[in-house]
Each structure stands twice: as C-alpha cells, then as structure tokens.
Amino acid sequence: MSQLEIKNLHVSIADKEIVKGLSLTIKGGEVHAIMGPNGTGKSTLSKAIAGHPDYTITSGEVLLDGVSILEKEADERARAGIFLAFQYPSEIPGVSIANFLRAALQARLADGEEIDASGYYKRLYAKMDLLKIDRKFTSRAVNDGFSGGEKKRCEILQMAMLEPKVALMDETDSGLDIDALRIVADGVNTMRSPELGVLLITHYQRLLDYIVPDYVHVMYDGRIVKSGDKTLAHELEAKGYDWIKKELANAKA
C-alpha cells in the first residue's frame, strides 16, 4: 500500500507565498477531499506536488512511500506514480489520445523495450468500455477542441491507463453536466482500490455525493484550517465558507 506524505509544505509563485504550511497524509485506498474558496491555493498545491517549474517549494517535504520526490523532475514524479488530473488540461494538436497514451506508457518501459501494440489497444478499449467512452474518442487529438466535459473524461481515461499510486484531481467536476459527472464519478469509483490514494480538489459538495470521501479538509489562505469526515462537506454546502472565515478570525482575536 502506497502513501503520500505532505509535511509542512510552503509554496511560492514569483516570490509570493501561496501555500503556507500544509500537512496531509494520503494512504492507499483513501479519498481525501480538499474544499475551499477560489484563490486559496488548491491548484497551486497540486501543481507543486506534480513538479511544475513555476512553483517553488520554499520549505517542507513531500514523500512518496517514504522517499522525497522534491528533487525529481515532473516526468520522474509522474513515472513514480503521481498523477495530476488538471483543472485546465492542455491541448496537443496533431497527437491522438491513443498515441499520446502509448508514448506515456512507452516512457515507463526500460530502454530498448517496446510496448506491445495489440496488448495496449486491448487494454485501452477495455478501459474505455469501463468508462463508457466511445471508441472514436481516442483517435482525436488530445483535448484539441474538446468541450469541458470531454477534457475531463480524457483526464480520467489517462488516469485509468497510467494506474498511478496517487491521483491529484483538480476540480474534475467543473464543466460537467450531471450525466457526465456521474460517468466520471463512476470511473473514479471503479478505480478505487487499496493501490490508489486520491486527493479530490473541489469547490462544490456536488461531486462528493458521487465520490464519497473518507476525509474532508477545508483549505483557506494556503492552509488546511479544518478537517473532518463527509459531514463537513454538507456543513460547508449549507453554511458557505464565511462561517470558516469567521471562526478563524475569532480564533486569532
């Protein structure tokens, strides 16, 4: 069983501190939800863990199965088992999803080893069936001209194929109508296993009706300010974030 440990993490962009001391441990099989108002640093947290070069980790640790990943390049982190489902996935014109995924899997093989093409397509189609994705989908160029929902589905398909140890899912529910949301949630639920830890970043409670989290954390101003179980999400939905802000202000006073 794998484990991602985030210890007292501080992250800056262009000398501005965004994540201000965040600690969280995600074990295999667990789903953690992080909720919080816009601009609070949720995407920054996920991109910093994934190794985006714009984000500087000024202090703290991120360990995957006890080994620090902070010295590793983004691609090494990915191959070590970190997957980021992007809030805004990039378009790659001219590169089909099938070829892209094949290249990504090929990159995980040792030098000189070739991916088995027929085995690859068999697996790809099986995952697509599981996620109720049309066969034609993977011949389209990655995210090129995709609707919001298609982009998110493309992320989920990649996640299913790459079988990460830890998935950081950034607002995977945004831009989805209720049917698409259900399909995406079903996909994540079928992937839930002791082998996979999930960090679900979301603005809304809605997604959590479909992917029921083990833990819910509230992030505010670069920190986790409150943690609880799924009932915390309902509370947030009912009361909004102002309630948290007030509590914090009172605590400081």
Partner 1 sequence: MKPPTETDLLPDSAEAAAVENPAVGIDQSAGNFSYNMEYAFDAGTGLSEDTIRYISSVKKEAPWILEFRLKALKKFLSMPMPTHWATKDLENIDFQKIRYYLSQGQKPKRTWDEVPDDIKKTFERLGIPEQERKFLAGVEAQFDSEAAYSNIKEIVSKQGVIFVNSTEGLREHPELFKKFFGKVIPTGDNKFSALNSAVFSGGSFIYVPPGVKVAQPLQAYFRINAENFGQFERTLIIADEGSEVVYMEGCTAPKFSTSTLHSAVVELVALKGAKIQYITVQNWANNVFNLVTKRGIAHEDAEIKWIDCNIGSRLTMKYPGVVLKGERARGEVISIALANDGQHQDTGAKMIHAANNTTSNIVAKSISVGQGRSTYRGVVHIPKHLKGCKNNTECDALLINTNSRTDTYPAISVRGDKNSTQHEASVSKVSEDMIFYMQQRGLTEGQAMSLAVNGFINDLARQFPMEYSVELKRLIDLEMEGSVG
Ligand X SMILES: Nc1ncnc2c1ncn2[C@@H]1O[C@H](COP(=O)(O)OP(=O)(O)O)[C@@H](O)[C@H]1O
Q: Which residues bind partner 1 (CB under 8 A)?
A: 50-54, 73-75, 78-79, 83-84, 86, 89-95, 100-101, 103-105, 107-108, 141, 158, 162
Tokens 């009706």, located at residue: 209
**Interface residue with ligand X, options 26, 41, 157, 191 (CB under 6 A):** 41
Between 91 and 229, CB nearer to partner 1: 91
Name the pairing type of β-strands 31-35 and 215-220. Answer: parallel
81, 83, 196, 234, 244 from 239: Cα distances, Å: 37, 32, 32, 9, 9
Q: Give the CA radius of gyration of the chain.
A: 18
199 binds ligand X (CB under 6 A): no
The yes or no reply on residue 138 touching ligand X (CB under 6 A) is no
Tell me, letter by letter, the H, E, C secondary structure of 186-199: HHHHHHCCCCCEEE
Among 6, 9, 18, 78, binds ligand X (CB under 6 A): 18
Q: Does 43 bind Mg ion (CB under 5 A)?
A: yes
* Residue 102: CB minimum distance to ligand X, A: 30
Cβ 204 to Mg ion, closest distance in Å? 13
On whether the CB atoms of residues 7 and 61 are closer than 8 A, the answer is yes
Minimal distance in Å, beta carbon 119 to partner 1? 18
| CB nearer to ligand X: pick between 33 and 183 | 33
Min CB(166)–partner 1 separation in Å: 13
Residue 2 binds to ligand X (criterion: CB under 6 A): no
Beta carbons of 191 and 83 less than 8 angstroms apart: no
Asked if 46 is part of the footprint of Mg ion (rule: CB under 5 A), the reply reads no
Cβ neighbours for 228, distance < 8 A, ≥ 6 positions apart: 215, 216, 235
The footprint of ligand X on residues 43-72 (CB under 6 A) is 43-44, 54
The residue among 90 and 231 lying less far from partner 1, judged by its C-beta, is 90
Is the Cβ–Cβ distance between 200 and 32 less than 8 Å? yes
Residue type, 81: G
Distances (CA, A) of 85 to 40, 46, 209: 18, 9, 19
Q: Find the part of the chain contacting ligand X (CB under 6 A) among 42-50, 125-133, 135-143, 205-213.
A: 42-50
Pairing status of strand 31-35 against strand 16-27: unpaired
Nearest distance from residue 20's CB to ligand X, in Å? Answer: 11
Torsional sign, CA 123, 97, 44, 242: negative
Whose Cβ is closer to ligand X: residue 38's or residue 250's?
A: 38
The site for ligand X (CB under 6 A) is made up of: 13-14, 18, 36, 38-44, 54
Residues near Mg ion (CB under 5 A) are 42-43, 87
